[in-house]
Structure 1
Amino acid sequence: MKALILEDDDLVSELLETVVAGIYPGALVKIAETLDEAYECVRANTFDLFITDWNLPDGAGLDLVKQIRKTDTDVPIVMVSGRSDRDSVLQAAHFGIDGYMTKPFDVKQLHERLVKVLKPSQTSVPDVSELLESSLEEVVQLPSDVDPADVLELISRQDDLSPAQLAERWREEASVTARLMDVANSTSFRRTGKPVESLRDAISSMGVALTLNQVLALSLDVTGKLKHEALRELSRTHYDAALQVAKKAQTLAIKLKKPPVPLQKAGLLSRVGELAVLKVLNDFIALGGSLEMTEAEQLLRKWSQAYGNRLKVQWRLPLRVRELIGAVHFLPTDSTQEDRLIMRAAAMLAAGSDRSEECQRLLRRLGIDTEAPVKD
């Protein structure tokens, strides 16, 4: 299912996109900020749903409605506008819209309206490869309670954040609070012999940097959001692999007296491509498609790198972080940067390949005794 959203307010268009994606798994959403962009999209594509604002920088969204209705009287069109007067509503209704929502709109009502105008059962099952290819062109979203992009933005300015600010930000996020309280009360943080009693105290005991990495790990755990057992199993495998790489990278960094948090972060992000592909495969099955485990694994191998690269750009990850993530998967033999050597060695250790020739060579180059086991 393809939807076009014509809206010049970034926050509103992102919210509309999220609502549409939540109702119609696998929906491909195009966003246009002007009438000219919308007309260009319509010329190049066919859409199953239109959502348009009324007031736009270069005209009125009603003009798009008129244009669409000249050739298609059935496709659902919903107008979102700041105009709530009776004349405006009647004028829009005259041109055959299927719904009219006034701003600021109620998300629940918007959800209900969109469900009514286009039933999920009306959507056809796409080819899985075509869905993966087209989804790669859109904004890639992981189906977690916490958006990794938001956490990465916080990490980029962590020196300016306090435990009180983070506690206030997450005070209504039950999953975040539960994770941080659990970690803070674990043996490694129970220095005083007393459990922490508040989210702010939990963050204070861990420090802002480590707290943000913990929340990043939580945001990347999409397993519980996947509805199909085979995909959940694959998700758990790749998520656990990322956690192990992060853990080994942290251990090596501490052993070599290097700051562990940046390397731990790179390890956590080392499987985002696989997790994004699994999200699209989950959408495909929700649309009525079917996949064998072997086919899902083949698609992961084929598409994970492309989706990983897409997310690195979408999340605006610094070049250094991208290079560290890349080193997890491949490292030229002539590479000399210690941080990259650590990441590749961490990947080998996490995979249980500590006795392999490559891992032994990496450890020797890092000055680590290859006869002694690397303990966490």
Structure 2
Amino acid sequence: MIKTPLRILLVEDEETDAVLIKRQISKIVENSEIKVAEDFPAFEGLFTSFLPDLVISDYNLPNGTGLDVMETVKSIDENVPLIFITGALDDDELAADTILSGASGFILKKHMPVLNEKLEPLLKQVVYNMVQHEELREQIRKNKIAVHQIYSYLDNMKADDKEQRENIEKIRTNLGKFNIDAE
């Protein structure tokens, strides 16, 4: 069972399917917060206010398609994974196209009785990526602090001769190449 809390936005127009999907997710994720949007306009409103870790979407929706959902997700935050769970598609080529277009996974609703088995590896990958990104963000923060400390040290150095001043300027120039905001 996944212990990391997940915020999931489920885009599903069939209430019974939404209930089944939520039940299957609860078998995999110990602590999930799931919001349901029944159509594309409801999804647009929830996506920016709920800020999900993951979007799970049906492919055929009233007032839009799963590709519309994916396009919106990627335009706002390309790091939010999207998984399609749909019954309308039985076309392997279209499923492959959605994955190539940026979806993180594709599951057919005919697998609903074993959805938790199909969904679990995808959700584990989502959690793994979240943890990886968190470590990267922390490393970037530490690097920014270190660079700021170097800049402070350079500002406080008393350069007595021309060669020292030139060396300090070279260090500043080289640090600037990293495009790290030192403020």
Higher normalized strand content (fraction of residues): 2
1:90 and 2:90 matched = no
| Cα-to-partner distance string for 1:254-304 (whole Å, 9 max, x where unaligned) | xxxxxxxxxxxxxxxxxxxxxxxxxxxxxxxxxxxxxxxxxxxxxxxxxxx
| Cα-to-partner distance string for 1:187-237 (whole Å, 9 max, x where unaligned) | xxxxxxxxxxxxxxxxxxxxxxxxxxxxxxxxxxxxxxxxxxxxxxxxxxx
Q: 1:107 aligns with which of 113, 118, 131?
A: 113
State how far apart, in whole Å, the 2-side matches of 1:112 and 1:94 are.
23
Instruction: State the partner residue of 2:23.
Output: 18
List gaps (5 residues or longer) in structure 2: 1-5, 132-183
Shift of residue 69, structure 1, vs aligned partner: 1.5
State how far apart, in whole Å, the 2-side matches of 1:20 and 1:92 are.
22
State how far apart, in whole Å, the 2-side matches of 1:73 and 1:39 are.
15
State how far apart, in whole Å, the 2-side matches of 1:91 and 1:84 are.
13
Q: TM-score, normalised by structure 1?
A: 0.31
Tell me the secondary structure at the aligned position of residue 80 of structure 1: strand
Amino acid at match of 1:46: L
Q: Percent identity?
A: 25
> 1:3·1:28 contact (CA, 8 Å) conserved in 2?
yes
Q: 1:50 aligns with which of 30, 49, 55?
A: 55
Classify 1:78/1:33 alpha carbon distance in 2 versus 1 (closer, same or farther; 3 Å). same
Q: Write the mapping of 1:59-70 to structure 2, written as runs, cut at 5 A.
A: 59-70=64-75
Q: Which has the higher contact order (CA 8 A, sep 6+)?
A: 2
Shift of residue 76, structure 1, vs aligned partner: 2.4
Shift of residue 19, structure 1, vs aligned partner: 1.1
State how far apart, in whole Å, the 1-side matches of 2:41 and 2:107 are.
23
Shift of residue 121, structure 1, vs aligned partner: 6.1
Shift of residue 22, structure 1, vs aligned partner: 2.0
Shift of residue 21, structure 1, vs aligned partner: 1.9
After superposition, the CA RMSD in angstroms is 2.1
Runs of 4+ with deviation above 4 angstroms: 120-124
Classify 1:113/1:75 alpha carbon distance in 2 versus 1 (closer, same or farther; 3 Å). farther
State how far apart, in whole Å, the 2-side matches of 1:121 and 1:66 are.
22
